[in-house]
Amino acid sequence: MACVIACPARAQDVSITAVFKPDSAYPHLNKFKNTTPPSGYCGNYPSQCELNETFSLQVPIQFNSRSPILANHASERQGAMLKAPAQWRELTVYHETTREPEKVRVRVVGIGSRSVTDDVMQLVGGADDYRIAHNLLWGSSWVNTPPPCLYSGVGWYSTTTYDFFWKTPEEAVCAKQAKFDVPWMRFDHLDFAYELETPNPLGMSSGHYLGSLTYTVGPNGDFDFGDVMLPSSSALTLNFNLDVQHTLKVDIPPGGEKIQLVPAGGWQSWLQAGRKPVRLFRDQTFNISASSRFKMLLECERTLLFNCLIRDPVSEREAVVQVSVSLPNGLTDMAGQPVKRQPLRIGLGQERQVFQPGFYVDRAPGILHFEMSPYYVNQLLQPGVSGRYVGNITVIWDSEV
């Protein structure tokens, strides 16, 4: 496309993706994993980025000089300079269906490109080699960063180009002064390294959280390359997609779906000596894996107020069975308190039966407590009176809180 005066600047979009999926091998590692394919600096030097927990992207934004860069220019804005958005920026990502909001923070910690101009040996009037010619043109190597930018170890050159990457510890101008006239100059692309702060995935719902952050590009913008170097795009938008893949799994041992309420020590004292038990109960273990909030609900075949009933179909007498739960270490109520014999009720506010993980719990043992109070035990157990009390009680673990 050709333009007589100037082409309209286009916006450039890039995608940043991250996923949380609990790993039983690392249950305490409760953070998102950045799944964005690296390009630019981190693509070429992955060990440097892994060490510093940074990531990088290369985007096709070019910067072209609108006028020559004059030797020993007085203003840093008239030469080769850059300023990156190195301070933390915050954005909101929203769940794709529930619109739940979460906060994400990002900052740019490095910036680079490939400078292109005429044969540098000719620009400086001759030199022993091209490395020295580049150094003469700009006063020092592009690897040696002007303050406050920091050295990154990156720099390679040709007769007309120099690839560089500078770390940006603060949001300030880093500039080089030309020592000879540079008739024209181009930065072929924009490389930037970034750090990412994601929310605690254990408090998020399963699904995708989407959001975007837009930086301005150009003179006095967020990405600022001075007044001479003009960008092909006036904006850079980072589109975030955080994928939360929670686990909620409950395993009940074989036969655990059939609950028999019995006295402590069995029925022998009642059958042989007539000693009435104080209570009837059964503790049923289960194994739970959980990485997100969940609620527990009861469904009963027959109910009385907040509890479930069992019934003798012959005499039609009924008795209340109270159900409670004890959860393993790492799972608490919404106040952060351990869950020990927390009653499960029907018709009460859900907030009383919602639980949350402090870390990913993987196949940890919990207990369902089924118990008949002394009042009903005394009513049901009468000498010479038999009965068979049955009923269905359904316990539900629900990740949809």
For 256-316, the DSSP string reads: TTS---B-TT-SHHHHHH----S-EEEEEEEEEEESS-EEEEEEESSEETTEEEEE-TTT-
pLDDT (0 to 100) of residue 346:
86
Give the chain's radius of gyration (CA, Å): 34
Q: What is the pLDDT of residues 254-305, one digit of tens each?
A: 999 999 999 887 887 777 767 788 889 999 999 999 999 999 999 999 998 8
CA distance 120 to 332: 67
How is residue 91 written in tokens?
Answer: 């954005």
CA distance 247 to 290: 5
**Angle of CA points 13, 90, 10, to nearest 5°:** 20
Position of tokens 């608490």? 332
Residue 246, SS3? coil
Which bin fits 179, alpha (ψ -120 to 50), beta or left (φ > 0)? alpha
Q: What is the pLDDT of residues 61-114, one digit of tens each?
A: 999 999 999 999 999 999 999 999 999 999 999 999 999 999 999 999 999 999
Question: Taking a C-beta distance cutoff of 8 angstroms, is the pair 109, 168 a contact?
Answer: yes
CATH of domain 248-398: 2.60.40
pLDDT (0 to 100) of residue 1:
37
pLDDT (0 to 100) of residue 379:
83
Per-residue pLDDT of the chain (401 residues; tens, 9 = 90+): 334 334 445 679 999 999 999 988 888 888 999 999 999 988 888 888 888 789 999 999 999 999 999 999 999 999 999 999 999 999 999 999 999 999 999 999 999 999 999 999 999 998 999 999 999 999 999 998 999 999 887 789 999 999 999 999 999 999 999 999 999 999 999 999 999 999 999 989 999 999 999 999 999 999 999 999 999 999 999 999 999 999 999 999 999 999 999 988 788 777 776 778 888 999 999 999 999 999 999 999 999 888 999 999 988 889 999 999 999 999 999 999 999 999 998 876 655 689 999 999 999 999 999 999 888 888 887 776 778 899 999 999 998 87
Closest alpha carbon to 14 in 61, 50, 49: 61
pLDDT (0 to 100) of residue 66:
96
CA distance 89 to 108: 9
pLDDT (0 to 100) of residue 329:
95
pTM score of the predicted model = 0.83
Domain ranges of the chain: 10-244, 248-398
Cβ-based neighbour number of residue 243 at 10 Å: 17
CA distance 248 to 362: 9
pLDDT (0 to 100) of residue 4:
35
CA distance 357 to 217: 42
CA distance 101 to 103: 7
